[in-house]
């Protein structure tokens, strides 16, 4: 009898034994994690667990004291942030960073520019392929009917969606979304989960959050951090039912 091996996706990101030390305080403590190409992963943990610091380390904003980060099999530890972005990783921060004086369309057009030197990004005609990409992303994020509105006039949730669109517009293979539903109501949160699902496959997505309702709506594999360390990994149901996770993160126990 022949056995067909289960297909495995190529490894895209590897975080191997990373430690980040801030004057004796280990914000990340020997943390390891891997991501496959096209995967959706949710990283959760209580406030101060080290989630955002891990994002900063992957993108090169913070340098690790030890350990390695590899992307597509190549070590990126120690590279400057702009070089890591060029290699195909882009991050959305917790607070939207849109340009309020530009329209939704122009914000996306800036992010989509292949030549991102500031004097090339402003005041010049947008190439046809980049214009087409912008229109596609407007549809993806659900803001096609708001394309000509100034970004500063939009609601908070809409600004978050623009920024997700801007991350997508860069063409990055790996998207790091740091608390993409911060400040949103239930309806906006549900819509954001749908938006992220539409990106998975064409992109690998790492979502950092602590809202378990949102995590359940996403439904991907969950990695739990606690005090800078790897705690658990599994499905949402497995994480929900893990007593140690319940004790340190969800604030309850079976007792």
How confident is the model over 151-167, as pLDDT tens digits?
999 998 999 999 999 99
**CA nearest to 95, candidates 41, 147, 162:** 162
Per-residue model confidence (pLDDT) at position 126 = 67
Q: For residue 4, is pLDDT > 50?
A: no
**CA nearest to 14, candidates 62, 94, 84, 72:** 72
* pLDDT > 70: percent of the chain: 88
Look at phi and psi of residue 85 and say left if phi exceeds 0, alpha if psi is from -120 to 50, else beta: alpha
Per-residue model confidence (pLDDT) at position 125 = 63
**Per-residue tokens: 234:** 């599994």
Looking at the DSSP bridge assignments, the partners of residue 56 are none
Look at phi and psi of residue 68 and say left if phi exceeds 0, alpha if psi is from -120 to 50, else beta: beta
What's the mean per-residue pLDDT of the chain?
Answer: 88
Q: Band of the pLDDT at 116, cuts 50, 70, 90?
A: low
**Which residues in the chain are classed under CATH 3.40.50.300?**
9-87+175-183+206-250, 89-171
Q: For residue 228, is pLDDT > 90?
A: yes
Q: Assign 90 to helix, strand or coil.
A: strand
Q: Band of the pLDDT at 250, cuts 50, 70, 90?
A: low
DSSP H helices, 114-242, are: 118-121, 128-140, 156-169, 186-199, 212-218, 236-240
Mean pLDDT over 132-159 rounds to: 94
What is the phi/psi pair of residue 140, to 5°? -60, -45
Per-residue model confidence (pLDDT) at position 233 = 96
Most confident of 5-9, 173-177, 182-186, 217-221: 173-177
Q: Assign 116 to helix, strand or coil.
A: coil
78 vs 248, which has greater pLDDT?
78
Per-residue model confidence (pLDDT) at position 254 = 46
Q: Band of the pLDDT at 95, cuts 50, 70, 90?
A: low
In terms of CATH architecture, what is 9-87+175-183+206-250? 3-Layer(aba) Sandwich (3.40)
* Tens-place pLDDT, residues 180-198: 998 888 999 999 999 999 9
Q: Under a CB-based contact definition with an 8 Å cutoff, are residues 222 and 235 in contact?
A: yes
Per-residue model confidence (pLDDT) at position 130 = 85
Q: Which CATH superfamily is domain 89-171 in?
A: P-loop containing nucleotide triphosphate hydrolases (3.40.50.300)
């Amino acid at each position: 009898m022949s056995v067909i091996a289960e297909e495995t996706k190529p490894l895209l990101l590897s975080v191997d034994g990373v430690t980040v030390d801030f004057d004796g305080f280990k914000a990340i403590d020997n943390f390891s994690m891997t991501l496959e190409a096209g995967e959706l992963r949710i990283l959760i943990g209580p406030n101060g667990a080290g989630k955002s610091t891990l994002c900063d380390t992957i993108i090169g904003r913070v340098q690790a004291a030890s350990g390695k980060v590899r992307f597509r099999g190549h070590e990126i530890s120690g590279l400057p942030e702009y070089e890591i972005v060029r290699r195909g990783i882009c991050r959305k921060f917790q607070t939207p960073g849109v340009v309020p004086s530009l329209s939704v369309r122009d914000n996306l057009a800036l992010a989509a520019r292949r030549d991102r030197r500031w004097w090339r990004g402003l005041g010049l005609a947008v190439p046809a392929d980049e214009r087409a990409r912008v229109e596609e992303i407007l549809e993806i994020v659900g803001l096609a009917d708001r394309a000509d509105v100034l970004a500063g006039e939009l609601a908070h949730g809409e600004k978050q969606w623009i920024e997700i669109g801007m991350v997508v517009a860069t063409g990055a293979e790996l998207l790091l979304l740091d608390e993409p539903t911060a400040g949103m109501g239930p309806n906006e949160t549900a819509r954001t989960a749908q938006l992220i699902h539409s990106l998975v496959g064409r992109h690998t997505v790492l979502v950092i959050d602590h809202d378990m309702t949102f995590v359940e709506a996403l439904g991907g594999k969950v990695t739990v951090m606690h005090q800078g360390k790897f705690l658990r990994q599994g499905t949402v149901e497995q994480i929900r039912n893990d007593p140690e996770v319940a004790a340190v993160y969800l604030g309850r126990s079976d007792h």
